[in-house]
């Protein structure tokens, strides 16, 4: 029996791109797919574009609640045994779903991640760094739990999961914009189950002026994402305490870099610190202080060159 695959497309104000994403889902070589497009309260022409596909897809139009709310809505309404996520400004290659199914079917792996091929807005290829990991089966549970994880998972369109593992994670906490999004999903899953990583690039990720995260030097947004993700992951999955503390410390460092004071950072982090042990508080504060000091020394070195 071939499992049903749900392709979940999340969209917000990407009317200029979403048709490409839907078309790539409809053209998959694997035949047993359902396609759900969740529009998160777009104010452009997205609704008109999505509605034009009629019954070939399932469209969900909701009020704006952030990307996490779109993920929750899509998962609550899909029925596939395997779920493939697709950002509405990205594109799946034709054999993407077929490759994912072959990798997951009949194996103990519960997730499948693969590299993405970066392109510009017109889908012209861009140069990108090599992967530090080879294709293969991986079990990162111990690294996640002891805080030594170095694996950097791909963005949304490179993520696929079995329903079984997502049922342990969803629904996920919600927040405006992308403050809580795919980072929560992929790190939670890495801590819970083994999976498969492929260096093959089975999807195109657009890099354009409206991207919120990838290749954007925006410490304010990155700090918000790190702080919110760390706090919510630790609350839901205590086994990730060490990993989340490191993530939270990095978020505080970025917050300081954008002009925050140390006393202000302490007030902002009070709730997180109050839920930490004395040892954890000391380690986290020390880690932030060291990183802030390194930043200052680096800045002074640059100014004196």
Does residue 141 share a domain with residue 43?
yes
Taking the model in full, what pTM does it have? 0.92
Average pLDDT over residues 151-169: 97
Residue 146 lies in a domain: yes
CATH number at residue 184: 3.90.550.10
Average pLDDT over residues 155-164: 97
Tell me, what's the pLDDT at 286? 87
Does residue 150 share a domain with residue 16?
yes
> For 258-291, how does the pLDDT look when each residue is reduced to its tens digit (9 = 90+)?
876 767 777 878 899 999 999 988 988 888 888 8
> For 55-89, how does the pLDDT look when each residue is reduced to its tens digit (9 = 90+)?
999 999 999 999 999 999 999 999 999 999 999 99
114 by Cβ neighbours in 10 Å (0-12 / 13-18 / 19+) ranks as buried
Residue 214: pLDDT band with limits 50, 70, 90: low
Q: How far apart are the C-alpha atoms of 149 and 163, rounded to whole Å? A: 24
Question: pLDDT at residue 251 above 60?
Answer: yes
| Residue finishing a domain among 178, 206, 234 | 206
The answer to whether residues 272 and 244 touch, using CB atoms and an 8 Å cutoff, is: no
242 by Cβ neighbours in 10 Å (0-12 / 13-18 / 19+) ranks as middle
Does residue 132 share a domain with residue 37?
yes
| Residue finishing a domain among 182, 206, 230 | 206
Does residue 186 share a domain with residue 153?
yes
Tell me, what's the pLDDT at 302? 59
The answer to whether residues 192 and 141 touch, using CB atoms and an 8 Å cutoff, is: yes
Question: pLDDT at residue 43 above 90?
Answer: yes
Candidate ranges 47-61, 100-114, 126-140; pick with highest mean pLDDT: 47-61
Residue 304: pLDDT band with limits 50, 70, 90: low
Does residue 28 share a domain with residue 156?
yes
Residue 298: pLDDT band with limits 50, 70, 90: low
Identify any residues that bridge with 8 across adjacent strands, giving them in sequence order: 36, 85
Average pLDDT over residues 204-232: 85
Does residue 20 share a domain with residue 156?
yes
Question: pLDDT at residue 161 above 90?
Answer: yes
| Domain count across the chain | 2
Average pLDDT over residues 93-119: 93
Does residue 156 share a domain with residue 85?
yes
Does residue 153 share a domain with residue 27?
yes
Q: How far apart are the C-alpha atoms of 190 and 233, rounded to whole Å? A: 12
Tell me, what's the pLDDT at 212? 66
User: pLDDT > 90: what percent of the chain?
Assistant: 76
| Residue finishing a domain among 146, 171, 206 | 206
User: pLDDT > 70: what percent of the chain?
Assistant: 94
How many angstroms from the chain centroid is the CA of residue 248?
Answer: 17
Residue 213 lies in a domain: no
Question: pLDDT at residue 303 above 60?
Answer: no
| Residue numbers of the domain that contains 53 | 5-206
Q: How far apart are the C-alpha atoms of 70 and 181, rounded to whole Å? A: 9
Average pLDDT over residues 165-179: 95
Does residue 160 share a domain with residue 27?
yes
Tell me, what's the pLDDT at 96? 98
Does residue 228 share a domain with residue 126?
no
Find, among 203, 271, 189, 281, the residue nearest to 231 by Cα: 271
Residue 212 lies in a domain: no
For residue 172, give the DSSP letter: P
Strands 5-11 and 33-40: parallel
Residue 43 lies in a domain: yes
Residue 146: pLDDT band with limits 50, 70, 90: very high
Identify any residues that bridge with 62 across adjacent strands, giving them in sequence order: 40
Pseudo-torsion of CA 60, 64, 70, 73, nearest 10°? -60
Evaluate the CA torsion angle 8, 14, 16, 17 in order and state its sign. negative
Strands 58-62 and 33-40: parallel
User: What number of residues does the chain have?
Assistant: 305
Tell me, what's the pLDDT at 220? 86
Identify any residues that bridge with 117 across adjacent strands, giving them in sequence order: 204
Does residue 230 share a domain with residue 140?
no
Helix (H) or strand (E) holding 11: strand 5-11
Question: pLDDT at residue 301 above 60?
Answer: no
Average pLDDT over residues 250-254: 90
Does residue 45 share a domain with residue 189?
yes
Rg of the chain taking only CA atoms, in angstroms: 20
Tell me, what's the pLDDT at 202? 97
Residue 211 lies in a domain: no
């Amino acid at each position: 029996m071939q499992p049903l695959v749900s392709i979940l497309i999340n969209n917000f104000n990407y009317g200029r791109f979403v048709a490409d994403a839907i078309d790539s889902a409809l053209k998959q070589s694997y035949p047993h797919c359902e396609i759900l497009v969740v529009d998160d309260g777009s104010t452009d022409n997205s609704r008109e574009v999505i509605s034009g596909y009629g019954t070939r897809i399932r469209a969900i139009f909701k009020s704006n609640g952030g990307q996490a709310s779109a993920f929750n809505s899509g998962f609550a309404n899909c029925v596939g045994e395997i779920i493939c996520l697709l950002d509405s400004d990205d594109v799946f290659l034709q054999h993407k779903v077929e490759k994912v199914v072959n990798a997951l079917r009949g194996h103990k792996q519960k997730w499948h991640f693969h590299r993405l091929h970066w392109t510009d807005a017109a889908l012209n290829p861009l140069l990108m760094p090599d992967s530090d990991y080879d294709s293969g089966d991986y079990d990162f549970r111990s690294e996640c739990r002891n805080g030594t994880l170095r694996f950097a998972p791909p963005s949304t369109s490179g993520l696929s999961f079995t329903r079984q593992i997502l049922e342990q994670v969803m629904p996920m906490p919600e927040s405006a914009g992308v403050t809580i999004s795919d980072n929560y999903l992929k790190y939670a899953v890495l801590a819970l189950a083994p999976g498969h990583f492929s260096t093959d690039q089975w999807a195109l990720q657009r890099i354009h002026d409206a991207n919120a995260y990838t290749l954007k030097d925006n410490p304010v947004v990155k700090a918000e994402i790190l702080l919110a993700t760390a706090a919510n992951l630790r609350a839901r999955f205590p086994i990730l305490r060490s990993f989340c503390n490191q993530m939270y410390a990095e978020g505080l460092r970025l917050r300081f870099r954008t002009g925050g004071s140390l006393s202000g950072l302490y007030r902002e982090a009070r709730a997180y610190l109050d839920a930490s042990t004395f040892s954890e508080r000391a380690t986290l504060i020390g880690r932030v202080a060291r990183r802030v000091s390194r930043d200052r020394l680096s800045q002074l070195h640059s100014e004196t060159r």
